[in-house]
Structure 1
Amino acid sequence: MILDHQGSLQYSADEALARLKDGNLRFIRGEARFPTLQSEVLAELAKGQQPFATILGCSDSRVPPEFIFDSGFGELFVIRVAGNVLGPSIFGTLQYASLHLHTPLFVVLGHEGCGAVKAAIASRFEGSRQASRIELLLEQILPALDGLDPDMPPTKLLGAAVEANVRRTMHRLLESAEGKAGVTERGMKLVGAIYELDSGRVRFLD
C-alpha cells in the first residue's frame, strides 16, 4: 500500500485481493464493519471515487459484492449482469475501470445455483427455449459448457458449469487487447471466484 501524488492510498493487486478475503471472513463471522454510513463519509466520497477492486458479478439479488466482501461505499467498482457474462457495454465499463479508476484487481464473481447458467444447461442438454433476449444472454454462456458431461448429477453439473463460465469470462478478458495491456503494462491482476450461497464463503479459483 502506497500514497499517490495526491496523498491517497493506492493498493497493489495482491493487497486488494487480501482485503476482499479478509472482508469475506468478517462477513461469514457476522463481524461486518459497515452497518451504517456517516454523513462526513458521504461528503468525502462526493469528491471522487478510488475503488481498490473491480467486481464483475451476477445480478442475483443474493450476491451483493459490497456485503459479501464487507466493503464500504467507494471501495468497490461493481458491474452486475445475469450470469456475469461479457458484452460490449460490460467491456466498456471494465475498460473505464482500468484506464480511469486504475483498479489493480479485477474479479469475475460467479455463484452457486446461478439461474442463468442453469438455463444455459437446459438449453444445451435439454433443448429448452427462453424469451428472445434471454436467449441472447445464454449464447454468452453456452461455449463454457463444451466438454462437460451431461450425465453428471445435476448439482455437480451446475457447479462445474458455474466454474467453467467464470473461467471462460476470465479467458476472454485476458485475451482481449485491454486485458493483455492491463496485465503486462499496468500490473493488473485478474482472478475468478465462486460465492457459496449456503455458507457465505467466497472460493477464489486457482
Structure 2
Amino acid sequence: MVNRNITRRQCLLGACGLGLGMAVGVKAETPSSNPINVENAEPYPRNASEALARLKDGNRRFMDDRPRHAHENISWRSLLVETQRPFATILGCSDSRVPPELIFDAGFGELFTIRLAGNIISEDVIGSLQYAVVHLHIPLIVVLGHEGCGAVTATVEEMLDKVKEPERIESLIQLIKPGLSKLDLKQSHSALLSAAVEANVRWSIQQLSALPERKRIVVEKRAILMGGVYELATGRVRFLD
C-alpha cells in the first residue's frame, strides 16, 4: 500500500505526468538532437538501456580507480551556460560518502541528482522527478540506496525499540518504516541492516510505481525506473532486478 503522505502528490502527478516505467529493456523516447555539441563528446544515449550502460561503465572505472574525470574543464562548462542535457536522474542519499557524479565517473551536465537522507519519496522529490522527465527528457531514473545508510539504520533501531529520535528525524523514519515492515527482525544485525537498505530502495520504487500516471506512462515509454545499492567498501553499484 502506498504511504498515505503521497495522496496529495498524486494530484500533482496527474497534471504533469511523471514518466515512470519498470523494465530496462523498454525504449525510452528522447529528443533526436543534442543541444550540447563538442568534439569527442560521447553521444547522448538513445534510450534507457544505453543510459544504464553508460552508468555501469562509469562505475566500473570508479571501482578500478581509473576515472576519466571528463567534462569538467572550462570549455565544457561553457557549453552548459544556456542549457543542460543530463542522461540519467539519480535519487540518492545525502550521505557524504555517496556522491553520484564520482561513483559514476560523470562530469558537469551529465547527471540530474536529487539527494536527501534515506532517498525517500516526498512531494518535492516527485516534483523534481517530474521536471527531469517532462522538461529534460531524461530516459533513466535510478533510486540509489547505500550500505550504512544512517536514516535506514535509525529506522531499524526504532523498530527494535532501541532508540527514539527527535521529531524531524522521526518524520523521516515514518516515511521509511512501511517499506521495512516485512523484514525478519530476528536475523543478525548486519544482515538486517543490509536487507533494510535494499528494502528501502524497493519501497521508494513501489511508491513511485503506484502513482496513478504510471500505467499511461509505461505505454508512452517516457522514462525507465530502476533501483541500485552502493557498496561502501568496493565502490560497486549493485543494480536491483
TM-score by length of 2: 0.81
Asked if the contact 2:31–2:137 (Cα under 8 Å) also holds between the matched residues in 1, the reply is: no
1:82 aligned residue: 117
Q: Which moved more, 1:105-114 or 1:145-154?
A: 145-154
2:183 aligned residue: 148
1:182–1:74 distance in 2 versus 1, CA, 3 Å: farther
1:183 aligned residue: 218
SS of the aligned residue for 1:103 comes to coil
Deviations for 1:140-169, whole angstroms, at most 9, x for unmatched residues?
A: 100011111111100000000000000010
Question: Unpaired segments of 5 or more residues in structure 2?
Answer: 1-28, 37-43
One-letter amino acid of the structure 2 residue matched with residue 154 of structure 1: H
**2: CA distance, partners of 1:147 / 1:10:** 37
SS of the aligned residue for 1:139 comes to helix
2:155 aligned residue: 120
Structure 1 position 11, deviation (Å)? 2.8
One-letter amino acid of the structure 2 residue matched with residue 153 of structure 1: S
Structure 1 position 37, deviation (Å)? 2.3
Question: Over the residues paired in the alignment, what is the CA RMSD in angstroms?
Answer: 1.9
Structure 1 position 47, deviation (Å)? 1.8
One-letter amino acid of the structure 2 residue matched with residue 4 of structure 1: S
One-letter amino acid of the structure 2 residue matched with residue 119 of structure 1: A
One-letter amino acid of the structure 2 residue matched with residue 47 of structure 1: E
2:209 aligned residue: 174
SS of the aligned residue for 1:167 comes to helix
Asked if the contact 1:95–1:178 (Cα under 8 Å) also holds between the matched residues in 2, the reply is: no
Q: Runs (4+) of structure 1 moved beyond 2 Å? A: 5-11, 177-184
1:4 aligned residue: 32
In terms of fraction of residues, the more helix-rich structure is 1
Structure 1 position 180, deviation (Å)? 3.8
Asked if the contact 2:231–2:238 (Cα under 8 Å) also holds between the matched residues in 1, the reply is: yes
- State the percentage of identical aligned residues: 50
Q: Which moved more, 1:5-14 or 1:94-103?
A: 5-14
Question: Unpaired segments of 5 or more residues in structure 1?
Answer: none
1:138 aligned residue: 173
**1: CA distance, partners of 2:202 / 2:183:** 14
2:131 aligned residue: 96
1:43–1:35 distance in 2 versus 1, CA, 3 Å: closer
SS of the aligned residue for 2:134 comes to helix
SS of the aligned residue for 1:45 comes to coil
One-letter amino acid of the structure 2 residue matched with residue 37 of structure 1: E
Structure with the greater relative contact order (CA < 8 A, sep ≥ 6): 1 or 2? 2
Asked if the contact 1:4–1:10 (Cα under 8 Å) also holds between the matched residues in 2, the reply is: no
